[in-house]
A and B are shown apart, each in its own frame.
Chain A
Amino acid sequence: MDITNLKAWEIREKILNKEISSYEVTEQFLEKIDEVEDEINAFITIDADRALDEAKKVDEKIAQGIEIGILAGLPVAVKDNIMTKNLRTTCASKMLEKYIPPYNATVVEKIKKEDGIIIGKTNMDEFAMGGSTETSYFGITRNPRNKSIVPGGSSGGSAAAIAANEAALSLGTDTGGSIRQPASYCGVVGIKPTYGLVSRFGVVPMSNSLDQVGVFGKDVKDAYLALKSIAGFDPHDATSSKRAKLEELNFDEVSLKGLKIALPKEYDELRVKGDEKIRVVFENSIRVFERNGAKIEYVSLPYLKYALETYYLISTAEVSTNLSRFDGIRYGHRAFEYKTLDELYINSRTEGFGEETKRRIMMGTYALSQGYKDEHYKKALKIRTLIKNDYDRIFKDYDVILSITSPILPFPFDSVINSPVDMYKADTYTVPVNLAGLCAISVPMGEVDSLPVGLQITANRFNEKTLFTAAYGYERSANDEL
């Protein structure tokens, strides 16, 4: 029996019931990787030997009746901007091609503590900048649903690894949609938790005030299980919240009855050309909520219209300061040729960074430069306040907001990437969530032209329980109606 196409929570039950060992499960996932990886390229590094060793240890624990963590021997794939001790962590950049972290990110420690098995490191857009995984130094990742199409990004490898049955669960990071958009494109579930719910310690930062680690799974229960394992306050991360805790949720008791849903009418103004078919699927999914007793109303969030511009100014400003750490001296690529210290910096950075990364560093440097700082960066921060206020007002009266995850369908290679502004517009529905630090999940809602499309559900800060209630209620009802 092929165990790799089961949900993670189903595999977990089989391991706990001793129907199958963690070693056998890990072996099967590694075989699947061998079989499909030439084509998919979801991974930058595969850690087969260590994964099998760790799986053996988990099996011994189970055999001896020692209490077992909630991940109970499940293979987990980790995005390659999350540090893994003694396991190469590249951020999909030439800059960090040979970087071996001397410590683990807190989320990696937590996965190990919960007896998850780290199976490998996944491909991504370089330094998490992009929406297609095409900017990786380590080649493109193909969408398992259609091999001539991108998997989305920046966490494209983590989403593809789930869709291609190469891992039971996976971790990604989301700064402006980098978990939700690839989840939508690959037809899996992906969640970006509330800012501060999950530790960022040991995660290579892109934009500190927006970055958040999240998870992918085959369904909502899988995503819950994975998030449960990594959520929590971490004294090593000054932006980690003392409120950080994922509440217990009894999935059998979930109901959509009485759920108060808001639909921002500004979304009509933000339409992107060619989104008609996606909107039909979206209308159908709204009806699923309605039929199950949810109350739906239109609301207004007037400043949503400026979210994309605001996001790009703030995120690139933070990118430019963050990536100044790459000096070619302490770690990362060092140029062979230089005569002065300044040339060492310039040549190392110029050779080490790819085009999109350089473009964003430049953009951020410009936004923060003398004379423009108030006009651009400060202005964007003020609009961020207005966007946050809009959401705070809506969440006083409503439980969740519904939208489509991406206004464009998963696209062919070498198409949208050539037009940076179009690529940015694909993030219309996802970036406001990061600006306001909210939590949001993308759940498959159907297909358009045989390609998967995702439904985005957004809830208030630290309201993950409501988010999972809505997501699971929808998933179950939609499956029942099929």
Chain B
Amino acid sequence: MSEPERDPHTGRLTTGHDWNGIKELNSPVPKLVWFFLILTTVIAVVMWVLLPTWPTGRDYTKGILNTNQYKVLDASLEAGAKQRAPWTHTFETTGFDELQADPAAMLIVRENGRRMFEDNCAMCHGRDGQGGRGFPDLTDDQWLWGGSPEDIMETLRVGVNNKHDEARLSQMLAFGRDGILDTNQRRQVVSYVQSLSEHDDASHVAALKPADIEAGRDVFAMQCATCHGVDGKGLPTMGAPNLTDDFWLYGGRRSDIEETVYGGRQGVMPFWEDRLDEVDRKILTLYVLDMGERQK
């Protein structure tokens, strides 16, 4: 350790330490540092007095403001609900037809519904509601579980093939994988299903073997008609789609239909009863219907 020396630039003494040429000035701690240390400590102590802070064994100091984050949350939720009350009351008490005819209500549907749809539904059905393979298009006229406002709202409430006690259940069997139909029968029933489908050009039907279609008709009656109906037009109560139109949830090419018959389909939709309240589900129902109308 060398002797303290005077730094020519500042005129201050060093501490006398020297590490590989590094020295330290013996400057006092600037008053500003003490000032802010005391100031921030005072701020902290004031907060400790006001707010819940220190643990005291099994309990903690509550603070003289007697507040906590749950009380703050409850209060702000209550204030929000009060602010929304005028129009939520309308939605609670008014029927679908009346709401659809009320421009003011539909304005709320379009604003709030869009936000809710994008946050909750769009990841499967798309922001425009047109769905995709395995996810139904909500803007067409085809509804697996019925397209009335009441049906849609019920589907929103309980969802499809989920853990909700009242969930809509629809399980198309895996006719191939589970060995219910052999390869021949599957070929025949796929041909029959294709022959049912209305198509702009009938060439694909012409390419099917009449014998297959005939044999497929029997297979269909035995295995498929229970859910899809004898005429293949589907049953909304079973969530079984209409096979005679040109809408295909899982694709309408022959290979798609073969895949569906082989492995079955068990599409899932979550239930929203726990996440969205009745007014919100009503708004979403109206939003979905309105979206279809507007896209026509």
Task: Verify that A and B bind, or say they do not.
Answer: no
